[in-house]
Structure 1
């Protein structure tokens, strides 16, 4: 199975090596793992165990698990963090979540503990931001959540019916747009810390347009995740990579939620 995605290609090659070597995580009593030979009997080499490939169901279960963890973490932060510490918790969770997200994304680490830690930290961030917005605009958080999952399921149906296809040109375009938007948001954040208002987040026409662009790109990023999952299943990637696939969906949902939350707030007006 060939793929145009270099990351998936590398993961597929790693999966082939693991299957050839008989990969199995090392246990507490020295069971075979990386670099450890499997026991033999009567002079005959034992057949290596089969590495269970990931499935769509694996990704669904992991995604639901991460969303549940994020929701619990967000609810706990909303309830337990005092109003005076909301800003500190907000910024702290933003920084830690950004670092964890970059590590997982660029290193392509299929580490459940790291992905779960990201979900917990991101939950704190979601809880703090949601609490701040809901205080000013009651009910806006529920509206944004419903809209976000509505867009997710819509994109899933469009991808399944092949209305939208992840062609190489489409993938390159969406990735370029995501990188560009991330760079713009980081620059805008730094300038905001120094009191410079670029107009991207002040509720004006430029802010509305920017949020709409972000919502479109965040929605299209689901197609990239669906494509990677489909290709990963076809290539027989090990089951643990379902955590990485679920992480990608989680990031897109959270990003989409915040952009919809901002856009709705622009039309609420000041109370």
Structure 2
């Protein structure tokens, strides 16, 4: 299981450990750990009737699994966003926005660096991010008064998503090792800049990075481009994960990656649209 993607490398190692413990794909008796009641490599599993049987099996993930999990997470995020919009008072919008962003950041980092898939954590992340998305959307649409901005941002976000899917399918953009390393480095740099800017803003220091000005326009456009390209990494991880035969539950991890990119892209498009409407 050789791959240049660090995420896939970790997941591939986890899958190998599971197979070594006797949890390989169904019908492949070559997997299993000798000893502790397990047969040696290549030997069939004995049964009470004396007939050979396959070892304990874990179903490999498929693209359909990822699609179902992604739609599920999007539905949870949407429900959470609507609930937050209606239940959290306008006066608490900013506090809820910042709180959900910080909790979501911690959960996102935990999920990203874990070596095993955890559906409960991924679902919790979707709920928290739903609160974040709902509060940001409410701020721009209700408090700031930008009419129709949410629908425009949603349409633009999914439009970009499907465009990137087409480009990846046609192999017009490929997740080469150089592309992957470069994009991951740029994403890390952007998140570091945004985190520093957030901390400075909390202490009353304005950098203009998120304001309606030349710097704000440039930074938002850069974020939109990078968030769009991050789908290529997700599509490649899904494709490689299916090829490598990762266990089915890792489809939650793949869906998590798509959800992160969709939310990031939506927020950046929402912000850019607010700049454009503010200039009218």
TM surpasses 0.5: yes
CA distance in 1, matches of 2:6, 2:218: 33
| Matching residue of 2:246 | 237
**Is the partner of 1:110 in helix, strand or coil?**
coil
The alpha carbon displacement at 1:86 in A equals 1.5
CA contact (8 A) 1:77 1:127 kept: yes
| Matching residue of 2:267 | 258
CA contact (8 A) 1:108 1:244 kept: no
The alpha carbon displacement at 1:240 in A equals 0.4
CA distance in 1, matches of 2:101, 2:122: 15
> Are 1:204 and 2:226 counterparts?
no
The alpha carbon displacement at 1:142 in A equals 0.9
**Is the partner of 1:71 in helix, strand or coil?**
helix
Give 5+ residue unaligned stretches, structure 1.
25-34
Distance 1:44 1:17, change over 3 A: farther
The alpha carbon displacement at 1:5 in A equals 1.9
> Are 1:94 and 2:101 counterparts?
yes
CA distance in 2, matches of 1:138, 1:36: 66
CA contact (8 A) 2:5 2:180 kept: no
| Matching residue of 1:172 | 181
| Matching residue of 1:14 | 14
Distance 1:20 1:43, change over 3 A: farther
Answer with 46-55 or 4-13: which moved more.
4-13
CA contact (8 A) 1:144 1:264 kept: yes
> Are 1:54 and 2:52 counterparts?
no
The alpha carbon displacement at 1:23 in A equals 2.9
Q: Residues 103-156 of structure 1, C-alpha deviation per residue, up to 9 Å, x if partnerless?
A: 001124411111000000000010011001001202101101110000000000
| Matching residue of 1:32 | none
**Is the partner of 1:200 in helix, strand or coil?**
coil
CA contact (8 A) 1:188 1:198 kept: yes
Give 5+ residue unaligned stretches, structure 2.
25-34, 39-45
Equivalent of 1:133, from 134, 137, 140?
A: 140
| Matching residue of 1:64 | 71
CA contact (8 A) 1:21 1:48 kept: no
> Are 1:84 and 2:91 counterparts?
yes
| Matching residue of 2:153 | 144
**Is the partner of 2:192 in helix, strand or coil?**
helix
Equivalent pairs counted in the alignment come to 261
Q: Residues 191-217 of structure 1, C-alpha deviation per residue, up to 9 Å, x if partnerless?
A: 111111111011100100000000000
The alpha carbon displacement at 1:95 in A equals 1.4
| Matching residue of 1:31 | none
| Matching residue of 2:164 | 155
The alpha carbon displacement at 1:43 in A equals 6.9
Q: Residues 67-118 of structure 1, C-alpha deviation per residue, up to 9 Å, x if partnerless?
A: 0000000011111111122222112211111110110011244111110000
Q: Residues 159-186 of structure 1, C-alpha deviation per residue, up to 9 Å, x if partnerless?
A: 0000000111100110011000001001
> Are 1:105 and 2:108 counterparts?
no
RMSD after superposition? 2.1
